[in-house]
Structure 1
């Protein structure tokens, strides 16, 4: 059994990263993650939170939800993690294009999964959601394929959420069903796009400026399936990242009623550190 299959998220320590914004804002990032196999016999979700090896304040968060049987799905998710790690280590934040990095992670992960399918006669696939934070710019860049999501919350409210590549999302977009009905639709797990499919459509890398106090959450469908946006607004605004991960995984397990999918999530909170000369009480960091 993989040692992460039942790894309690409460034991994953936050990742405090004090960094300096060029405009003068000093950031502190607190991150925590949770990974659980749910009620499945094996774990196909994988995740990483990676601090850049040479540049402080540059952080990459990645989640992959593998599909394709016991070994195929896990291999696909592992390929995503390995590809993201290797490309990020070669990335130069001061000179390289963050859009190009994320496009390359998605495309090379897709290519490696396709090669695995040819060599093993399996049909591995995976979702991906990856978010790159540049503290010196105060910006987040992200890309995704499939139905693993990125949420950004500000002042306790949902600021933005990625749009799923799924059959039910096309029905929602057409106005044929509501998001509430999509959650329990019999075809809610059917994807229109995933890594490893015959052709991967070109998808834009998106970006947004961030503010102190913003909370980023990346998760697989095994997590978000059991929560409304309002549920997540409350959890991310009331709880620190570690407690938020523990709460959401525990609550999702309860609501799944013994039929839950693999679960993976990453919660990152941005806080402002006091400038030199300010009192420490100005800091809201975890």
Structure 2
């Protein structure tokens, strides 16, 4: 059985976990995505959709591989024709972390940074949250794999960077001898309620051809129903708002439900007591200064009020 994967250390680690779980007959096949080739372009607009996934999906359709492993947050919310996500294994930590150079760490604020600190991130969601949390920060685009980003931080190009905790954990960053070395750097964990993650962040998606019943059945043994239900709801909100990974939107569902939507400028932050979100139908009214009671993607009312803080 051939398992397609991107060639980054994180992708190979994640795919290796799935291969080990499935059995010794699974062979990893490295495939270069557009996102691996184009490393200096911001992930916005049409470029963002399928940027890290299309090459793997093409290889699935052609029969070059039998299954593919994606970071779920990179996978477009629209169903890929002829393909199916057959399993979503248990989720790793969904939240982001702020990794800070020790000489730039400052206690006392909402973020442990001095004013006008230079923070690296290309994600529109992270940029918007940084603007909402720290109005005087200088936000600078930063792409590349996890190791590259940490190295650029060490070189002094940035005072801090924002990364997904899941990727750091999978690369062993918090254990001796890991693929990523955080020695001498400080890590500030960003709570998923106050700093919502990308929909599906921390989860993996195992994809195969829809008509390959044998592979679907085998992959399905890895599915975690609780994780699948939570991330599906998060992604339904993203789909309802018409966005992909370039939309500055975060959502986290776990027991109590939280979500988030904001303008890229960080000037309009939508919050509520139970949900930090706006349904698409209520969004215009909310941003105009009103309040609304959104409905879930299935149409049932959530029953909470949205407040706008400008």
Flag the structure with larger Rg.
Answer: 2
Higher strand share: 1
Structure possessing the higher relative contact order (Cα contacts under 8 Å, 6 or more residues apart)? 1
